[in-house]
């Protein structure tokens, strides 16, 4: 690349999904602050083929979500730097910036385990490397914690290959045979939608029998269905920014000493599809449900005990035995979860958020955010 010329960069990333559009925003931010670049981008979907003009294109670099080995081979033939942001195809020798699938699996397991579920399952995307990583990490965490994890493998099941409806019927049969209640982690939101449909076919209650969650936090998929889907949001803008920074280095002829670190997920957004407390003790189940609904209303442990007709000492003893935490700890965790969400979703002041989340003061909330997130509330709010 001529140092005096404007770099010509082509981008092949889905514009049809929230995740892809946010990656594009991160690339745009880098281009504005370190460029400018001359960027080519068009409407792009999961099945869109590479354009024919790419054969004679005289550009300087490409950022793409590489979906197949054939696509990677066509891009490599152009003999310009390429950065992948998907890592769907295993063993590609193409630099990549992508999300941290192990941390995604860890976050998913923690959420389902915190619902006090003790049976787990995974439904993935066959032939997708990122899905396999999420599956392996999720199953490993479950095993280490001493819990079973069932994995749905459609390629070994003929009905799945026959048709979409045949596949859904096969998935429904598999779901029906799972021990209940079960916490199910779907590799992404589209797979979570498939699980919801399959559960309806067998009248399997969500979340009471199967608590379902996905990844991507695409509001089109997560918010328009019933029940709404719990999902994990990526730091997609950060992925786009880092991918652009890596491409910039490569276009300048500099090879990084080490590959970029995977980008951790942004946040888990709980919704109705995992809104369950799986505890056999009716009093403790009621107490957990009350905490979920009333924690931010400054409910106390004493009030909680009276609401479920237990002494405070008995309530605390049962919580330690069944949940592994005190009622006070669970109340504090729920308030902090609410505060995090308000910091991200609103422009309210810290004082307003502290009051809405049930904390005694903004100063105390600030201390907790610093302790749990290793940053100030303002820094947490400004994260990509």
Pairing, β 61-64 against β 8-12:
parallel
Q: What is the DSSP letter of 240?
A: H
d(CA 192, CA 187) in angstroms, rounded, equals 8
- Token readout for 335 is 């308030």
Please name the residue that has the structure tokens 């389902």.
Answer: 112
Kindly state the average pLDDT of the residues 63-89.
92
Q: Catalogue all structural domains in the chain, each as residue range(s) with its CATH number.
A: 8-99+236-265 (3.40.50.2300), 101-234+268-274 (3.40.50.2300), 282-381 (1.10.10.60)
Is 98 a residue whose pLDDT tops 90? yes
Is 168 a residue whose pLDDT tops 60? yes
d(CA 66, CA 78) in angstroms, rounded, equals 15
State the pLDDT confidence band at 348, using cuts at 50, 70 and 90: very high
For the stretch 187-211, pLDDT in tens is 999 999 999 999 999 999 899 899 9
Burial of 2 (0-12, 13-18, 19+ CB in 10 A): exposed
Is 1 a residue whose pLDDT tops 70? no
For the stretch 230-249, pLDDT in tens is 999 999 999 999 999 999 99
State the pLDDT confidence band at 213, using cuts at 50, 70 and 90: very high
State the pLDDT confidence band at 226, using cuts at 50, 70 and 90: confident
**What is the DSSP secondary-structure string of 143-154?**
HHTT--EEEE-G
Query: Could you tell me the sign of the dihedral formed by the alpha carbons of 212, 218, 224, 230, in that order?
Result: positive
List helix spans (H) across 125-188.
Answer: 129-144, 158-162, 164-177
What pLDDT, on the 0 to 100 scale, is given for residue 301? Answer: 94
d(CA 383, CA 248) in angstroms, rounded, equals 23
To the nearest whole percent, how much of the chain has pLDDT over 90?
Answer: 64
What pLDDT, on the 0 to 100 scale, is given for residue 155? Answer: 66
- Token readout for 196 is 């919801």
Sequence-ordered list of residues with C-beta below 8 angstroms from that of 235, at least 6 positions apart, any chain: 99, 263, 264, 265, 266, 383, 384
Q: Look over the chain and give the mean of its residue pLDDT values, rounded to a whole number.
A: 90
Q: Report which of 352, 380, 356 is spatially closest to residue 367, judged by C-alpha positions.
A: 380
State the pLDDT confidence band at 178, using cuts at 50, 70 and 90: very high
């Amino acid at each position: 690349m001529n140092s005096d010329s404007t770099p010509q960069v082509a981008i092949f990333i889905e514009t049809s999904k929230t995740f892809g559009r946010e990656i594009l925003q991160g690339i745009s931010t880098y281009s504005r602050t370190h460029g400018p670049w001359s960027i080519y981008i068009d409407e792009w979907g999961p099945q869109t083929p590479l354009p024919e003009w790419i054969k004679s294109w005289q550009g300087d670099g490409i950022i793409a979500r590489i979906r197949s080995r054939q696509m990677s081979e066509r891009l490599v033939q152009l003999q310009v730097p390429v950065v992948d942001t998907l890592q769907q195809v295993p063993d590609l020798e193409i630099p990549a910036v992508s999300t941290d699938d192990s941390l995604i699996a860890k976050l998913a397991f923690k959420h389902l385990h915190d619902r006090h579920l003790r049976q787990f399952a995974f439904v993935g995307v066959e032939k997708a490397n990122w899905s396999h990583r999420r599956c392996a990490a999720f199953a490993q965490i479950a095993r280490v914690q001493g819990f079973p994890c069932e994995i749905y493998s459609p390629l070994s099941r003929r009905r799945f290959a026959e048709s979409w409806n045949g596949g859904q019927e096969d998935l429904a049969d598999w779901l029906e045979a799972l021990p209940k209640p079960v916490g199910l982690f779907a590799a992404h939101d589209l797979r979570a939608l498939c699980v919801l449909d399959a559960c309806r076919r067998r009248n399997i209650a969500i979340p009471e029998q199967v608590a379902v969650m996905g990844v991507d936090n695409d509001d089109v998929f997560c918010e328009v269905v019933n029940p709404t889907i719990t999902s994990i949001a990526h730091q997609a803008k950060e992925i786009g920014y880092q991918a652009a920074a890596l491409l910039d280095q490569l276009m300048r002829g500099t090879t990084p000493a080490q590959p970029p670190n995977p980008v951790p997920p942004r946040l888990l957004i709980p919704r109705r599809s995992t809104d369950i407390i799986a505890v056999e003790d009716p009093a403790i189940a009621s107490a957990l449900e009350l905490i979920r609904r009333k924690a931010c209303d400054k409910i106390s442990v004493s009030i909680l005990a009276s609401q479920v007709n237990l002494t405070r000492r008995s309530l605390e003893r049962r919580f330690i035995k069944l949940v592994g935490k005190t009622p006070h700890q669970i109340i504090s965790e729920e308030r902090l979860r609410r505060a995090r969400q308000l910091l991200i979703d609103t422009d309210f002041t810290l004082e307003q958020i502290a009051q809405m989340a049930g904390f005694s003061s903004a100063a105390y909330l600030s201390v907790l955010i610093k302790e749990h997130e290793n940053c100030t509330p303002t820094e947490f709010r400004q994260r990509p």
